[in-house]
């Protein structure tokens, strides 16, 4: 989890690389390595570590809210509250049920999205109670995609706590309808909306 969070975090920062001038001779890996030495990025990594117990507890809580296809509303409302608690962002639910949090960048010239999905492939009535075996959590939907939702949330929290500024706006998203018959309806709606706003 920590490695995944670090990779996602560096990717966002690299896409919206502060206000530094990029040299054509620098490689992507060099840029990422440089970012990992920034004080604010180190502070964000420390925050990810500090948040781990809370992240795991909220992972369990969120996973235990059933979210079969087309019935993501309750999980979406809980996730919206978590995003609001993270602070520094405008949070809303769109017309199809996607939960969105916009963190403004300095220029807002581009929009970078980090997305997880609310629904699970498991049908209504599935026992989604989380069980701990050793150091591993087991439950339907915990990896696909409740864990992804927690990555999105934790990156937002770390960026806020470390006061990281980006050039570009960052949209933190929890989409509906990713699984099966959902036919990616949440992300399709989101992309359609963004297309007509620009």
For residue range 18-75, list pLDDT tens digits in order: 444 454 446 888 888 888 899 999 999 999 999 999 999 999 999 999 999 999 999 9
Q: Would 35 be classed as within a structural domain?
A: yes
Give the start-end residues of each E strand in the chain: 90-93, 99-103, 111-117, 131-133, 136-138, 169-175
The span from the CA of 55 to the CA of 74, in Å, is 19
Flag whether 22 is in a domain: no
In angstroms, the CA 130 to CA 64 distance is 7
Domain that holds residue 129: 2-16+27-197
| Residues involved in catalysis | 119, 178
| 119 is a domain residue | yes
What is the pLDDT confidence band of residue 8, given thresholds at 50, 70 and 90? low
How many domains does one find in the chain?
1
> What's the pLDDT tens digit per position in 106-151?
998 999 999 999 999 999 999 999 999 999 999 999 999 999 999 9
CATH code of residue 169: 3.40.630.10
Residue 14 confidence (pLDDT) above 80: no
How confident is the model over 59-100, as pLDDT tens digits? Answer: 999 999 999 999 999 999 999 999 999 988 899 999 999 999
The answer as to whether 21 is a domain residue is no
Residue 33 lies in a domain: yes
Collapsed DSSP state (helix, strand, coil) of residue 175: strand
């Amino acid at each position: 989890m920590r490695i995944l969070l670090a990779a996602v975090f560096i990717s966002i920062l690299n896409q919206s690389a502060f206000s530094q001038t990029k040299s054509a001779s620098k490689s992507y890996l060099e840029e990422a390595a440089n970012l990992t030495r920034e004080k604010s990025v180190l502070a964000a990594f420390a925050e990810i570590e500090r948040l781990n117990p809370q992240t795991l507890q909220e992972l369990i809580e969120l996973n235990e809210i059933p979210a079969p296809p087309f019935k993501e509303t309750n999980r979406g409302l809980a996730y919206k509250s978590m995003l609001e608690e993270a602070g520094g962002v405008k949070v809303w639910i769109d017309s199809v049920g996607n939960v969105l949090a916009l963190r403004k960048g300095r220029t807002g010239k581009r929009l970078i999205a980090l997305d997880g999905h609310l629904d699970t492939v498991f049908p209504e009535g599935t026992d989604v109670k989380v069980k701990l075996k050793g150091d591993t959590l087991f439950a339907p939907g915990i990896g696909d995609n409740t864990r992804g939702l927690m990555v999105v949330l934790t990156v937002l929290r770390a960026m806020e706590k470390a006061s990281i500024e980006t050039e570009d706006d960052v949209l933190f998203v929890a989409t509906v309808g990713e699984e099966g018959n959902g036919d990616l309806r949440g992300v399709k709606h989101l992309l359609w909306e963004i297309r007509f706003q620009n």
